[in-house]
Amino acid sequence: MNQQWPNAGHTSLSLAQSHGFLPAVVDRGGPAERETTAEVGDLWRILIRRRRIILGTTALFGLAALLYGFLATPLYTATSQLLIDPRDRQVVTNDLNAGAVAPDGGITKIESQVRVIESDTVLLRAIAEAGLEADPEFGATGNGILSRAVQGLREAVSGSEVQPHNATLRALRNLRRKLAVKRAEKVFVVDVVVTASDPDKAARIVNAIARAYLADQAEARVNAAKRAAGELNARLDSLREDVLAAETRLEAFRADNGLIASSGRLVGEQQLTESNARLVAARNRTADAKSRLQGIRSARGGAFDAGATPEAIQSPTIERLRSQYAELTSKEADLRTQLGERHPFITAIRTQKSDVKRLIDAELGRIVQGAEIEYQRALANERSLTGNLEILKADSVQTGKANVRLRELERELDASRSVYNTFLVRSREISEQASVDPTNARVITWAQPPEDRSWPLRLLILGAALGGGLGLGAGLALVREYARPTLLSRRQLERLLGAPVLAAFPSALGSSDGAARAAPAAFALDSLYALAGMKHRKDRALSVMVAAPASDAAERRALIDLLAAVAVARGDHVLVVEADLGSADPGNGGLLEVLRGEISFHTASTTDAATGARRLPVGNGQKPVRDAFERENVHRFLSHVAERYDLVLLDGGTLAQNVRIAPLVAAVDRLIVVACGGHTLQDDLVETGRIAAALGNAPFGALLVDGKGATR
């Protein structure tokens, strides 16, 4: 009877699918390996099922956050703002520091000043001003018992005693941890932020850092000016010696070459110029004397017209004689008109005119002789000056050759003097600039003691702790699920067993909603009958063994009772056989005794008042069971109950622990597996499917206890 069902399994399954009792299922070639991956929709199910881990981790983190928020030392944050203009104040035109803005708009300089504020020089100055070396918050050793104990423990761990001079270094290290220097984009304002346990202390430290920065900048400018002035002064001595050496060489060359200067010019050059000027004047005088001489010579014997007399012979004597001559001529004309040409008076006047003319000629001769002497003297002077000029010219040629070297020495002297004067002036300027601070930085906001604490922010810490706890809890839940994956969905159960899910039941099988439990049970029974091809047949019963992993024993027994009750309610005769040897009760008769033939079936079975089905217990499992589960005994028993019942439900228990019923497993018509979504381990399902296949009856279907699994 039982051998024909495995052969007709696929035909019956196809028939049931064609009539709409079951959906198409995967290939039942054999059970698959466990799945370590999950679909996106299954992640939420994992988190829900592992909610205890998530909630526990979240609660632990939340409690730790609350404890920290109420027990941690409150911290206060003070802020000071400095405006640092990259363009320094133009106090002097020739400042030591360039006042031009860099091509990047001064951003590089501002970022550099941020690093200066964070430097050891500024912070050490602020530490000294604020007295942080003696502050326990910044590393100073306290006088309390707890402080001394912590100090002793630190010394024991480090193996060396902390030296007193390291107090400043500890304060510097702790101040760096509590300091933040920030600059927003596109602005020249720098925020200096310090966090401390006391609001007044935080404001005091921030203001000390701001003052230390300004003082450090001023001191740096002064030191830079002093250093530059010192370097220039050190160079001035060498430059002064160079100038003296150049002057010495120049004067020695002048003395050696006779290049004596007067009024800024060489004597030879002055003599040449003056000689040339005298020669020109002598030539002019010679030309004038010659011209006067020629004029006098040409005037001798000429007319005595006053207007025609050359200027060279216009002397008082000549003028008087000419006047007398003119008077005599005028008188002669008058007398000649009155007395006639031959009158004695006219002759006497003519004689006087001859005497006057002779006197004029004699005077002109004397003048000519004087002019001749003057001309000769001027000509001799000219010749003397010309000779002297030629001598000076020859000397000037030699002097010109020496002047080439002289000018070179003068240029060297001028260059040395120029460099020396530049260095001297610049040294004086820089020395004066040392007392002027052109830094264009100022504090625009002095820190005030904050009223509200900046840490701990209890709500923020609690929120972060809860978020972190949720995240860590979810991670632990997923890790736990990956380490021991459970059943997540209906499709996963079908893949693991290689068999369809006949029905899905709600998680609470013991709930009062009977319709929610009876409907899937009825559907499962209809599927079993339809796939077996024997609905409403009374000639034989359908034997179905229900097995489950050990973790689902309660669900397995509850589903067997549910199926039995639904079948009885529909009018079927149902027998429930307990074949789980692990639940055997010593001393009571049951399946084992019936198989051995020790008692009758009617005597061993009872009617279950809860379901209305007939129930056969497993019997006394203390006796050897191998002889009871002989193949003939099993077939005889199934043939016997098949004539009296419509449905035989066998509780197969956990197959991994119940392999001794292998003949019974192989003889039943169908073997179905019960699994709980989110509870049954995938390894147990895979093991159940393999053992069932090894026992000769691979899982035919599955019953899923998971209300959400019905839609997956």
Label residue 539 by pLDDT band (50, 70, 90): low
Mean local confidence (pLDDT), 654-682: 90
Confidence of residue 253 (pLDDT cuts 50, 70, 90): confident
Hey, is 420 helix, strand or coil?
Answer: helix
pLDDT of the residue at 589: 79
Output 321 or 593, whichever has higher pLDDT.
Answer: 593
Residues 685, 689, 692, CA angle at the centre, nearest 5°?
A: 135
The percentage of the chain sitting over the pLDDT mark of 70, rounded to a whole number, equals 77
Q: Is the pLDDT of residue 298 over 90?
A: no
Separation of alpha carbons 611 and 567, rounded Å:
9
Q: What is the mean pLDDT of residues 202-224?
A: 90
Q: How confident is the model at residue 710 (pLDDT cuts 50, 70, 90)?
A: very low
- Please say if the pLDDT value at position 324 is more than 60: yes
Strand partners, 414: none
* E strand or H helix at 180: strand 179-183
Q: How confident is the model at residue 209 (pLDDT cuts 50, 70, 90)?
A: very high
Digit-coded pLDDT (tens) for 71-124: 888 899 999 999 988 776 555 555 555 555 555 667 888 888 899 999 999 999
The mean per-residue pLDDT over the stretch 620-633 comes to 79
* CB proximity list for 282: less than 8 A, separation 6 or greater: 378, 381, 382, 385
Alpha helices in 434-446 (DSSP H): none
> What order of strands is seen across the sheet that includes strand 189-196?
179-183, 189-196, 76-84, 441-445
Task: Decide if 637 contacts 596 (C-beta within 8 A).
Answer: no
Please enumerate in sequence order all residues whose Cβ is within 8 A of that of 542, keeping only pairs 6 or more positions apart, or say none.
Answer: 528, 529, 532, 534, 646, 647, 648, 669, 670
Residue 600 clears pLDDT 60, i.e. is over it: yes
What are 464-504's pLDDT values in tens digits? 999 999 999 888 888 877 778 888 888 888 888 889 999 98
More confident residue, 382 or 267: 382
Is the CB of residue 213 less than 8 Å from the CB of residue 83? Answer: no
* pLDDT at 547 (0 to 100): 94
Arithmetic mean of pLDDT over the chain: 79
For the stretch 395-423, pLDDT in tens is 666 666 777 777 888 888 889 888 888 88
Q: How many C-alpha atoms does 152 have within 13 Å on its Cβ side?
A: 7
Query: What's the rounded Cα separation, in Å, for the pair 8 and 198?
Result: 87
Q: Which helix (H) or strand (E) holds 532?
A: helix 514-532
Q: Return the structure tokens found at 118.
A: 């964070």
Mean pLDDT (whole number) for 525-535: 71
The CA-CA-CA angle for residues 645, 647, 649, to 5°, reads 120
* 80 strand-pairing partners: 192
Q: What's the pLDDT at 219?
A: 86
30 pLDDT above the threshold of 90: no
Would you give the DSSP letter of residue 127?
H
Q: How far is it, in rounded angstroms, from Cα 524 to Cα 501?
A: 9
- What are the φ and ψ backbone dihedral angles of 705, each rounded to 5 degrees? -100, 95
What's the pLDDT score for residue 577? 93
Q: Which of 652, 663, 590, 592 is nearest to 630 (CA)?
A: 663
Query: Which pLDDT value is given to residue 436?
Result: 61
Q: What are phi and psi of 146, to 5 degrees?
A: -65, -40
Question: Do residues 577 and 623 touch, judged by C-beta distance below 8 A?
Answer: no
Judged by average pLDDT, the poorest of 12-26, 345-359, 421-435 is: 12-26
b/e map 252-273, b = 16+ CB within 10 Å: ebbeebebeeeeeebebbebbe
Pull the structure tokens for residue 389: 């000029």
pLDDT bracket for residue 190 (50, 70, 90): very high
Position 598 scores a pLDDT of: 86
Partners of residue 370 on adjacent β-strands: none
Q: What is the mean pLDDT of residues 199-214?
A: 94
Band the pLDDT of 586: cuts 50, 70, 90: low
Instruction: Compute CA 360 distance to the chain's CA centroid, rounded to the nearest angstrom.
Output: 120
Confidence of residue 282 (pLDDT cuts 50, 70, 90): confident
* Tens digit of each residue's pLDDT (9 = 90 or more) over 691-704: 999 998 999 999 99
46 band by pLDDT with thresholds 50, 70 and 90: confident
Confidence of residue 20 (pLDDT cuts 50, 70, 90): very low
Exposure of 513 by Cβ count < 10 A (0-12 exposed, 13-18 middle, 19+ buried)?
exposed
**pLDDT at 17 > cutoff 60:** no
Q: How far apart are the C-alpha atoms of 442 and 419, rounded to whole Å?
A: 38
Q: In which band, very low, low, confident or very high, does the pLDDT at 711 lie, cut at 50, 70 and 90?
A: very low
pLDDT (0 to 100) of residue 668: 93
Sign of the dihedral defined by the CA atoms of residues 447, 453, 459, 462, in that order: positive
602 to each of 579, 593, 614, how far by Cα in Å? 17, 12, 10
C-alpha to C-alpha distance for 245 and 226, rounded to whole angstroms: 29
What does the pLDDT look like over 331-342, one tens digit per residue?
778 777 777 777
Evaluate if residue 9 carries a pLDDT over 50.
no
Please tell me the predicted confidence (pLDDT) of residue 561.
Answer: 92
Q: How far apart are the first and last CA of the chain?
A: 37
Name the most confidently modeled range: 303-317, 322-336, 412-426: 412-426
CA–CA distance, 47 with 342 (Å, rounded to integer):
178
Tell me which range, 27-31, 367-371, 376-380, 508-512, is most confidently predicted by mean pLDDT. Answer: 376-380
CA distance 705 to 672: 13
What is the length of the chain? Answer: 712
The three-state DSSP-derived secondary structure of 579-641 is CCHHHCCCCCCCHHHHHHCCCCHHHHCEECCCCCCEEECCCCCCCCCCCCCCHHHHHHHHHHH
CB atoms within 10 A of CB 533: 14
pLDDT at 6: 33
Task: Please give the Cα distance from 210 to 208 (Å, whole number).
Answer: 5
Q: pLDDT by residue (tens digit) across 627-657?
A: 888 889 899 999 989 888 989 999 999 998 8
Listed in sequence order, the residues at least 6 apart from 533 whose beta carbon sits closer than 8 Å to its beta carbon are: 8, 12, 15
Indicate the pTM of the whole model: 0.51
Q: What is the DSSP letter of 574?
A: E
- Give Cα 74 to chain centroid, integer Å: 31
DSSP 39: -
Amino acid sitting at position 385: L
**pLDDT value of residue 36:** 59
What DSSP string runs through 287-332? HHHHHHHHHHHHHTTS---GGGS-GGG--HHHHHHHHHHHHHHHHH
Half-sphere exposure of 32 (CA within 13 A, CB side): 16
Q: Give the model's pLDDT for residue 124.
A: 93
Residue type, 249: R
Q: What is the pLDDT of residues 552-564, one digit of tens each?
A: 899 999 999 999 9
Res. 28 pLDDT band, cuts 50 70 90: very low
pLDDT band at residue 348 under the 50/70/90 scheme: confident
pLDDT value of residue 155? 61
Q: Write out pLDDT tens, residues 132-143.
A: 988 888 876 655
CA 401 to chain centre: 72
